[in-house]
Amino acid sequence: MKNYYYFLGVPENASEEDIKKAYRKLSLKYHPDKNPGDDFFQTRFMEIKEAYEMIIDPEKRRIYDDNLGHQQRSYRPNLPPSIKSFSVNKVRVQKGEEIIISWQTQNADVVKLLPFGLQKGYGEKVIRITEFKDGQFQLLLHVTNSLLNKTIVQGITITEIFENKSEEFRSNVEDLFKPEKPTRNNPTGLPRKIRIFLFLVFLAAAIAALILNR
> Mean pLDDT, to the nearest integer, of 155-169?
76
Asked if residue 96 and residue 65 are part of one domain, the reply reads no
> Mean pLDDT, to the nearest integer, of 84-91?
93
**Is 165's pLDDT higher than 70?**
no
Structural domain range at position 103? 78-161
**Is 61's pLDDT higher than 70?**
yes
Residues facing 142 on adjacent strands: 112, 153
Rounded distance between C-alpha atoms, residue 45 and residue 27, angstroms: 6
Q: Looking at residue 31, which CATH number applies to its domain?
A: 1.10.287.110
> Mean pLDDT, to the nearest integer, of 84-92?
93
* Per-residue pLDDT tens over the stretch 32-42: 887 777 777 88
- Predicted TM-score of the model (pTM): 0.48
Last residue of a domain, one of 75, 108, 141: 75
pLDDT higher for 167 or 34? 34
* Per-residue pLDDT tens over the stretch 12-26: 889 999 999 999 999
Asked if residue 60 and residue 38 are part of one domain, the reply reads yes
List the single range of 76-90, 127-141, 192-206 with lowest mean pLDDT.
192-206
46's CB contacts (< 8 A; 6+ apart) are: none
pLDDT at 176: 57
pLDDT higher for 15 or 43? 15
Asked if residue 84 and residue 155 are part of one domain, the reply reads yes
pLDDT at 50: 92
Structural domains counted in the chain: 3
Asked if residue 178 and residue 111 are part of one domain, the reply reads no
Last residue of a domain, one of 137, 161, 185: 161
Q: Looking at residue 146, which CATH number applies to its domain?
A: 2.60.40.10
pLDDT at 69: 75
Is the backbone peptide bond immediately before 182 cis, with ω within 30 degrees of 0? Answer: no
pLDDT at 3: 82
**pLDDT category, 211, cuts 50, 70, 90?**
confident
Asked if residue 83 and residue 66 are part of one domain, the reply reads no
Contact 142, 112 (CB under 8 A): yes
Last residue of a domain, one of 44, 75, 106: 75
Asked if residue 138 and residue 83 are part of one domain, the reply reads yes
Asked if residue 42 and residue 30 are part of one domain, the reply reads yes
Asked if residue 41 and residue 114 are part of one domain, the reply reads no
Asked if residue 136 and residue 203 are part of one domain, the reply reads no
Asked if residue 99 and residue 156 are part of one domain, the reply reads yes
